[in-house]
Amino acid sequence: MYKRLSSVMFPIFAVLLIGALVWGYQENQEKNAILIKAENQYQRAFHDLSFHMDKLHSEIGNTLAVHSTSQGMHRKGLMNVWRLTSEAQNEINQLPLTMLPFNDAEEFLSRISKFAYHASMRDLTKEPLSEKEVGNLKTLYQNSSEITKNLKEVQQKVLSDRLRWMDAETAMATQGQMNDNSIVDGFRTVNKKVQEYPELDWGPSVSNVFAKRSVKKLSGLPVSKEQIQAKAAKFADMETGQIQVQENGKGTDWESYTATAEHAKNGKLMMDFTRNGGMLISYSDTRPVGAKKVSRQEAMKQADQFLVNKGYKNMQAVNYDEFGNLGNLTYVRKQGDTLIYPEKMSVRVGLDTGNVTGFEASDFVYEHNDKREIPKAGLTAEQARQKLNPDFKENYVRKSLIENEFGKEVLCHEFGGRINGSRYRIYINANTGMEEAVEEIKPVNATS
């Protein structure tokens, strides 16, 4: 009987064993193929990075080599610098550097990119490169030479020793061990040297991009937890005892308070306040939102009334969109006949009842200025209208103060209308007649 059983089971086990071996082999082959593909992508990105850094160094040198009055060559050179730094940033993002301290080198490239872009976009015949900017380019030329040299040393080691990026990734992922790896050490060296470079004066257009907001910049004295508790209770129309307050980021530049409270609608209220001045940054009501029953007009009406009730005056809705059963509105403050776009806030409305379920006002808090001076317009709306595409079908025009891509506040004539089957806002500088911004207005996702 055993002989007969074994004669039946042996072929079955043999087939299963062979199947397992074949499956394991295929899995191993697929895994190896994925690893080889990843390694090839890492190698390509690294060698492209080394090549583009070398080209960046050469392009800065070419820009410095021409005469100071060669605005055309300056523009061309700066545009190439911007393009090459963008390429280098893209290649850095393709490398497994998330666990490696390379952020200083990345920020260095980002600043070069912003500087080159902003300088090349202005009219160099009227505003040529200043002595300070030329000095910055000379410093960048020297710095990029050193970075290129270090990357080439790493590249030489990679090629001669046949180093793998997968090994470098393993070395970075290993916790608590000092693993030597030429690739990792090379990038650490580059980042360390970048940290030692003297800080350049990039000018306000670039510095504004990297300026970090801090609650310490806010006016007003620091407030206590008890004061926040009272403010939160007043805003939420609740008793003070129902509010719990938590302090965040103590001892940092981002000190704040979070106030929370339970309410009867199976949800929670959460409010964030600045420590200096105790100003409300955000508000959220986590109640479940039912099916849509409220129209767009009713939602906007209730959002308008909410802001008035909470003490936010002269706010005008400039955008509305829907996502599921929620309506989202963007508001900006209106001063006289001008919309102040830097002072914006967003309001979220539950479309089941129309009640506000969310509020975000960080931009308004940091940018609000009751004494803001609105510059006078050098061009009338009719004069600015001549700069529009003849096919643009205008629906309205109004004055707007916006922040342009250089971080400067500029007065514009804002034209709303349609072209090519889509709705747009076009902002024409009220003094130069240049297009400062073009914004497509996406259609609302649901009928209202």
Q: Name, of 195-199, 220-224, 248-252, 287-291, the range with top average pLDDT.
A: 287-291
Give the pLDDT band (50/70/90) at residue 122. confident
For the chain, the domains span 9-210, 222-367, 381-441
* Residue 101, phi then psi, degrees to nearest 5: -70, 90
Q: Which of 200 and 208 is assigned the larger pLDDT? A: 200
What is the rounded CA–CA span in Å between residue 171 and residue 163? 12
DSSP 8-state class, residue 292 = -
Query: Does residue 185 surpass a pLDDT of 50?
Result: yes
What is the rounded CA–CA span in Å between residue 276 and residue 210? 22
Q: Residue 442: is it exposed, middle or buried by C-beta count within 10 angstroms (0-12/13-18/19+)?
A: exposed
Please tell me the least confidently modeled range out of 180-184, 303-307, 352-356, 363-367.
Answer: 180-184
**pLDDT over 90 for what percent of the chain?**
32
Once rounded to an integer, what is the mean pLDDT over residues 229-242? Answer: 92
Q: Which of 356 and 248 is assigned the larger pLDDT? A: 356
Query: Does residue 288 surpass a pLDDT of 70?
Result: yes
What is the rounded CA–CA span in Å between residue 268 and residue 251? 28
Give the pLDDT band (50/70/90) at residue 19. low
Query: Does residue 343 surpass a pLDDT of 80?
Result: yes
For residue 218, the model assigns a pLDDT of 63
For CA atoms 405, 409, 412, 417, give the dihedral sign: positive
Give the pLDDT band (50/70/90) at residue 10. low
What is the rounded CA–CA span in Å between residue 106 and residue 443? 37
Alpha helices in 340-380 (DSSP H): 362-367
For CA atoms 12, 13, 14, 19, give the dihedral sign: positive
| CATH fold label, 381-441 | Nuclear Transport Factor 2; Chain: A, (3.10.450)
For residue 50, the model assigns a pLDDT of 85
What is the rounded CA–CA span in Å between residue 80 and residue 86? 10
Q: Which of 405 and 112 is assigned the larger pLDDT? A: 112
Query: Does residue 209 surpass a pLDDT of 70?
Result: no
Region for residue 249 given its phi and psi (left: phi exceeds 0; alpha: psi -120 to 50; beta: otherwise): left
Q: Name, of 217-221, 247-251, 316-320, the range with top average pLDDT.
A: 316-320
Angle CA(36)–CA(42)–CA(46) in degrees, nearest 5? 145
Name the nearest CA neighbour of 283 among 364, 171, 214, 339: 364
For residue 305, the model assigns a pLDDT of 95
Please tell me the least confidently modeled range out of 30-34, 221-225, 340-344.
Answer: 30-34
What residues have CB less than 8 Å from 210, skipping those under 6 apart?
Answer: 107, 110, 111
Give the pLDDT band (50/70/90) at residue 6. low
For residue 95, the model assigns a pLDDT of 76
Once rounded to an integer, what is the mean pLDDT over residues 262-289? Answer: 87
For residue 446, the model assigns a pLDDT of 40
Once rounded to an integer, what is the mean pLDDT over residues 315-331? Answer: 91
For residue 23, the model assigns a pLDDT of 64
